[in-house]
Structure 1
């Protein structure tokens, strides 16, 4: 057997930097569940997280510092940056300089300038870079794409999308609640980076951005209740809400056209499943019961779809993200999320910040 062939059959060895929510709930379980990949190392200086990581991934090297990872970089095939937002760029660049392809958690960076530094480092090093915009594989978003590809709504007019949660008091000491701009805290960066990414993925680059950003909770240092409106050259408008102060959430998605409407309530089940210790590949992964399906009403006809009432939700599929990362590393396939597309998301976030601060609509070049 040639060494080349055996190397290709070997699993992609992933080193996960950071073992907080992103590393422990999302990245590690998804990598572990992906055929042809393994959690080979976890970097965390927190003793409790080290203990949890050893228990869940006994085969992984548990490292206290990234310096240990860089010194032994040849033992790994991928670095996953799942740390606080202010370290995404520096750790991503350091990983590529150490010779490793990189997955960077969202948001890619706090500014367009910093995001472009990451992309430049990828281009100069020749190392793969992709961003973890996992909610492109949410069940509702996959269903919307299926409906739009079947042209069941006629000419589109409006896309409405919400991530609304309820946390009545800011979490003391949490970096996501910090006003330090380097940490990219607040809802516009956190939930907004998903909502904006989905809208741009569907409709391209917007030409105008309007936003409102509020700090509603006593003691809040960053936006906890925000709204963004995007207007696209096609005439489509996207209205996006992101909040930590909604005790009852509105519709998750509503897509309107001149011939039909699709509406969906409730969140994709994959995050809750991952938090509960479940993984892709287990029975029922990503699917939801009929009573949670969205509703489609259209006067257009399609032999395969019930046209006025519940429409089955496509199963959510976060596992496809890391399957595509594996294929990009082993076979040179396309990365699941092009970093250039995420730079456009950061550009919209910057425009939204300006709009909210100055109380006006921003026209993008």
Structure 2
């Protein structure tokens, strides 16, 4: 298929669409933002006024009548992804998400991809380079975290934090990204241990959030810990802690792209997504480890520069090439299905209070 400009329809106009999708679609010449579905426009949040050159619709059915849309991005709450994606696939459009939708996409001769944009976080790309180059040696411990100090930024606020449904929503939120990053590097584990719960701040039930911890056990001795929560006593939230037999990597803070977007920066701006020096990770080299083991000295830690980020636009660059038939989609439906399977097993593990085997 020849390269072309792809007309994109966005379903949903919340923070996900405005922060994680639209800026990157507009930053690339391969795409045109062509249509938006917004069910309830409001003062200060009206897609038609903010994008006067884009066609706006009140529901997906209306947009599906628009024959010039080449690709549809589902950017709505998680629980609506399946039904909306299924409708989009039956309407002969490209779409975003799911499980049995893989077979449906094949039947309809459509592409199905999931927006695991955090594969292109600058800190994760930096860590991946260290692992590929085996700078850390054989990795035995991989810890990945999303922790916040403000309950208003929680994974999933809930007036009833002990509600099982709310806790499941929490792991399907940031949990999908943490697990996807780990499985993207190490593949599927052999066993899973999960814990879903809630944490409180003070006596105010409005300051509750749902938390989760997932342990992925590998037969080669690797233990992956993925966890997210709200209340952290750390001034600097831990993001990665990885150790191997030749060294270790420690990284604080979150990827800076969201901060830049909220501050009004564009992916087209110079310096977008680049971390300042004070946010660089720390590397313990083989020399440092040997000094600790043999001479009793302190491990030598040195700052390691975060790589120049490909940014989340890389997902859409790869998707444009996939649409033109030049390479596979950046994140396949089967890869997303693997993450869903791990989450389901983690939920079962939490309920049974025991480690479960991967089928």
**TM-score, length of structure 1 as denominator length:** 0.86
> Structure 2 matches for 1:325-364, cutoff 5 A?
325-364=319-358
CA distance in 1, matches of 2:347, 2:128: 29
Shift of 1:43: 0.3
1:133 pairs with 73, 97, 116, which one? Answer: 116
Aligned to 1:286: 273
- Report which stretch shifted further, 135-144 or 241-250: 241-250
Shift of 1:67: 1.2
Aligned to 2:9: 15
Shift of 1:87: 1.2
CA distance in 1, matches of 2:160, 2:258: 18
State the secondary structure of the residue aligned to 2:243: strand
Aligned to 2:293: none
> Structure 2 matches for 1:1-365, cutoff 5 A?
8-9=3-4, 11-48=5-42, 52-72=46-66, 74-104=67-97, 115-168=98-151, 181=165, 186-217=169-200, 219=205, 224-246=210-232, 248=234, 250-299=237-286, 308-316=301-309, 317-365=311-359
CA distance in 2, matches of 1:325, 1:172: 30
What is the Cα-based RMSD across aligned positions, in Å? 2.8
Deviation readout 1:83-112 (Å, 9 max, x if unpaired): 1112101111111111111123xxxxxxxx
Aligned to 1:107: none
State the secondary structure of the residue aligned to 1:242: strand
Shift of 1:161: 0.8
State the secondary structure of the residue aligned to 2:46: helix
Deviation readout 1:24-83 (Å, 9 max, x if unpaired): 1111111111121011011011122795323432221011111111112x2111000001
- Describe the shift of the 1:50–1:97 C-alpha distance in structure 2 as closer, same or farther (beyond 3 A): farther
State the secondary structure of the residue aligned to 1:151: coil
CA distance in 2, matches of 1:122, 1:91: 13
Contact 2:157 2:210 in 1 (8 A): no
Shift of 1:222: 9.3
Contact 1:119 1:340 in 2 (8 A): yes
- Describe the shift of the 1:285–1:128 C-alpha distance in structure 2 as closer, same or farther (beyond 3 A): same
Contact 2:136 2:244 in 1 (8 A): yes
- Describe the shift of the 1:68–1:178 C-alpha distance in structure 2 as closer, same or farther (beyond 3 A): farther
Unaligned runs of 5+ residues in structure 2 are: 289-299
- Describe the shift of the 1:261–1:252 C-alpha distance in structure 2 as closer, same or farther (beyond 3 A): same
CA distance in 2, matches of 1:47, 1:56: 11
- Describe the shift of the 1:129–1:174 C-alpha distance in structure 2 as closer, same or farther (beyond 3 A): farther
Shift of 1:156: 1.1
CA distance in 2, matches of 1:285, 1:278: 7
How many positions carry a matched residue from both structures? 342
Shift of 1:128: 0.3
**TM-score, length of structure 2 as denominator length:** 0.87
Unaligned runs of 5+ residues in structure 1 are: 105-114, 302-306
- Describe the shift of the 1:152–1:300 C-alpha distance in structure 2 as closer, same or farther (beyond 3 A): farther
Shift of 1:119: 1.0
- Report which stretch shifted further, 89-98 or 210-219: 210-219
- Describe the shift of the 1:209–1:339 C-alpha distance in structure 2 as closer, same or farther (beyond 3 A): same
State the secondary structure of the residue aligned to 1:271: helix
Structure 1 outlier segments of 4+, above 6 Å:
169-178, 220-223
Shift of 1:341: 1.2
Contact 2:155 2:230 in 1 (8 A): no
State the secondary structure of the residue aligned to 1:47: coil
CA distance in 1, matches of 2:54, 2:31: 12
Contact 1:155 1:257 in 2 (8 A): yes
